[in-house]
Chains A and B, each alone.
Chain A
């Protein structure tokens, strides 16, 4: 039956064709197909994102193959604690994201709003930690082109570590580009979630219609997956070598 008692959805308009859910676009057969098509569409976009980040990972793989020692040595300059904190923060955000979608599926507006706020909160936390991480890099002259020279400055970092050469600079270039573009994706994700938050709060999503929040969630999880690979490749590379490398 077209009448739904769960969310007060009005019977679809009958302008010369059959009744249907008001959120069903006319080129779809039913809500199921609409949701599946939206999901497939978002995945096709995510595959292009895989290719996008894939190019950067390819550069990382190649230069790591060519300069393994510089790679390990440069990696040891990164802050593993902050990287680990951010990994946990993103995993938490994925849980709250999935709970937000589930809240839409069971028709709980409070759940949607609460979990979306939590997700945005975790995303913002990630960016704040990232800010402090970057600030530390600037402080330690580890930014290519900004005082990062071949001759090491006379500070405690370089007293313990070898000369920062061109291969290490390469690592840091990739580090900033990869984590920077990832952070940009986080900003876009947060903006998306803010829109979802407003929509959820206004009761737009129902157990019959929750496509937008689901596909936005797919984007969010993808950004989490990119970080799942970035963390061990960038931060943990030289961890087993210990101090002095």
Chain B
């Protein structure tokens, strides 16, 4: 039996690099938001937000070094949310398509 954990200790410079990346992406979010890219504004904002969240999950939360089981749970959780958004919006967007009451 082991009394020591074999967890990898991430170096400080990696954490600082991720931090700087997050700050830069935050600035990028703001700059992208004040410019008019039409319909692309939202995908750009969400793309940057997903990148920031990914940096936090992979490096700050240490998922990079977690077991495959934990990784599956993390990915599945976020993916399930997207499924819920997709199906719910699919319902609302397709209302009145058939021209039949209630559909």
Contacts and interface: CB of A to CB of B under 8 A. Distances in A.
A239 B34 CA distance: 5
Interface in A21-70: 21, 24, 29-32, 35-36, 39-40, 43-44, 46-47, 50-51, 54, 57-58, 61-62, 65
Contact of A18 (B1, B45, B52): B1
Nearest to B52: A228
Given A32-B6, A58-B85, A47 B26 contact: no
Contact of A2 (B3, B33, B52, B61): B3
B1 A29 contact: yes
Contacts of B94: none
B26 A43 contact: no
Contact of B84 (A54, A80, A214): A54
A231 B49 CA distance: 9
Q: Is the interface of B mostly helix, strand, loop or mixed?
A: helix
Interface of A: 1-2, 4, 9, 12, 18, 20-21, 24, 29-32, 35-36, 39-40, 43-44, 46-47, 50-51, 54, 57-58, 61-62, 65, 80, 84, 87-88, 91-92, 94-95, 97-99, 102, 105-106, 207-208, 210, 214, 217-218, 221-222, 224-225, 228-229, 231-233, 236, 239-241
A20 B3 contact: yes
A21 B73 contact: no
A98 B60 contact: yes
A65 B89 contact: yes
A136 to B, nearest CB: 20
Contacts of B46: 232
A3 B79 CA distance: 44
Contacts of B34: 239-240
A70 to B, nearest CB: 16
Contact of B81 (A50, A102, A210, A224): A50
Contacts of A58: 84-85, 88
16 contacts: A2-B1, A31-B4, A39-B70, A65-B93, A88-B23, A94-B19, A95-B18, A102-B12, A208-B3, A217-B60, A217-B61, A218-B61, A221-B61, A225-B56, A236-B33, A239-B34
A73 to B, nearest CB: 15
Contact of B26 (A35, A40, A87, A98): A87
A24 B52 CA distance: 35
Given A228-B56, A236-B45, A240-B34, A62 B1 contact: no
A88 B26 contact: yes
B15 A102 contact: yes
A222 B78 CA distance: 12
